[in-house]
């Protein structure tokens, strides 16, 4: 009997105890002398102990019956959770592998797209070059006839250069001091008939300005303040191409404005004969290669300027020098 009572807990834990025995026992546990152990203890201490055991074992049974399903459910949930976590880990690993492969594919795709864009851009660039080349070839083809005419004309003009150049040189050397009326008279009635009489090849209507200055240079002079009349342009051409230093008679102060603007890039220095620092200015400008303009020049010049005006250069080694007073200054 004692062993049977001890084995009840094991049966309850192992769920081998039939529930009907517990149900048959519960009505008897409702008796007052069973619930109140002091009453039973007065009758029999052994019976009181047995009642106490029954009360506790039934309570234990109720607890086990109530908790066990929950424990099984918990165990099952834990098992399912572990299985789900295992599957989740496998899925995460699979996803990570797919993402790594996707990253490689995306990188390769970006590389291919970049190469494609580069090739497309290069193709567009080459197409543009081809289009320009075709347009250039078409333009050159249309210009071929005109070039042939120009080449033939230039060959013909080359045969006329001796007279034209001689006329232009004579114009620069001798015509600068005259007014337009006398210039035209000298060219039309003196120089041109003389050259024609001596059978010097020259153009039919020779113009010295054609050789002395181009249209672009004349436009540049105009932008520098030179008046647009024929005489002013001829004077500018003479002053630029003449071997000697130009002497300008400029009562309207038009020439000085043009000279200052034109030579501003050469650090033009302006001085006068009565300036005590004139020789110093001349020396510095000769050494630096800057331009000098002497204002208010009279009929006579200081003798010290003669070597400069005459360009009496002295060569020493690879350099040239000019004498200014007692000093020899390097000529740039």
Please write down the HEC assignment for all residues of 286-316. HHHCCCEEEECCCCCCCHHHHHHHCCCEEEE
Q: pLDDT > 90: what percent of the chain?
A: 2
Query: Structural domain boundaries of the chain?
Result: 267-332
Q: What is the mean pLDDT of residues 109-116?
A: 90
Q: Is 199 exposed, middle or buried (0-12, 13-18, 19+ CB in 10 A)?
A: exposed
**Most confidently modeled of 45-59, 63-77, 144-158, 262-276?**
262-276
According to DSSP, the β-strands at 319-324 and 327-331 are antiparallel
Q: What is the pLDDT of residue 159?
A: 75
Cα 131 from chain centroid? 26
pLDDT confidence band for 178 (50 / 70 / 90): confident
List, in order, residues 6 or more apart from 48 with CB less than 8 Å away: 37, 38, 40, 41
Q: What is the mean pLDDT of residues 286-305?
A: 83
What pairs with residue 122 in β-bridges?
A: none
The topology under which CATH files domain 267-332 is Rossmann fold (3.40.50)
Using the 8-state DSSP alphabet, how is residue 265 labeled?
A: G
Closest CA to 263 of 211, 224, 296: 224
Report pTM. 0.53
Max Cα-Cα span within the chain:
178
Q: What is the pLDDT of residues 117-170, one digit of tens each?
A: 999 989 889 899 888 888 888 777 767 777 777 777 777 777 777 888 888 888
Closest CA to 35 of 20, 22, 48, 21: 48
Rg of the chain (C-alpha set): 61
Question: CA dist 226 to 92, 232, 253, 264, 316, Å?
Answer: 87, 7, 11, 14, 39
List, in order, residues 6 or more apart from 213 with CB less than 8 Å away: 221, 233, 236, 237, 240
H/E element holding 243? Answer: none
pLDDT confidence band for 187 (50 / 70 / 90): confident
Higher pLDDT, 186 or 51: 186
Rounded CA-CA distance 234/249 in Å is 14
pLDDT at position 1 over 50? no
Q: What is the pLDDT of residues 258-284, one digit of tens each?
A: 888 888 888 888 888 888 888 888 888
Dihedral over alpha carbons 20, 25, 27, 32 (to 10 degrees):
-170
């Amino acid at each position: 009997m004692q062993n049977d009572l001890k084995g009840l807990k094991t049966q309850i834990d192992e769920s081998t105890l039939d529930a009907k025995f517990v149900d048959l026992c519960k009505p008897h546990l409702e008796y007052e002398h069973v619930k109140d152990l002091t009453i039973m203890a007065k009758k029999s201490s052994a019976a009181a102990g047995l009642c106490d055991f029954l009360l506790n074992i039934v309570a234990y049974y109720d607890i086990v019956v109530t908790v066990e399903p929950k424990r099984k459910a918990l165990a099952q949930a834990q098992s399912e959770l572990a299985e789900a976590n295992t599957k989740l880990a496998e899925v995460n690993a699979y996803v990570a592998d797919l993402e790594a492969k996707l990253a490689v594919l995306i990188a390769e795709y970006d590389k291919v797209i970049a190469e494609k864009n580069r090739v497309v851009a290069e193709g567009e660039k080459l197409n543009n070059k081809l289009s320009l080349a075709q347009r250039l070839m078409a333009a050159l083809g249309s210009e071929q006839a005109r070039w042939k005419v120009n080449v033939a004309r230039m060959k013909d003009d080359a045969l006329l250069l001796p007279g034209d150049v001689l006329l232009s040189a004579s114009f620069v050397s001798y015509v600068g001091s005259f007014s337009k009326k006398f210039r035209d008279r000298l060219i039309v009635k003196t120089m041109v008939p003389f050259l024609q009489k001596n059978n010097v090849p020259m153009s039919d209507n020779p113009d010295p300005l054609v050789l002395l200055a181009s249209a672009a240079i004349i436009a540049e002079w105009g932008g520098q303040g030179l008046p647009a009349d024929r005489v002013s342009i001829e004077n500018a051409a003479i002053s630029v191409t003449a071997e000697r230093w130009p002497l300008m008679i400029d009562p309207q102060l038009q020439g000085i404005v043009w000279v200052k603007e034109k030579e501003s890039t050469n650090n033009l220095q302006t001085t006068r004969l009565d300036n005590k620092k004139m020789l110093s200015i001349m020396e510095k400008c000769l050494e630096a290669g800057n331009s000098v303009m002497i204002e208010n020049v009279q009929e006579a010049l200081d003798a010290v300027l003669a070597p400069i005006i005459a360009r009496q250069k002295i060569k020493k080694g690879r350099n040239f020098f000019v004498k200014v007073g007692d000093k020899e200054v390097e000529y740039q």
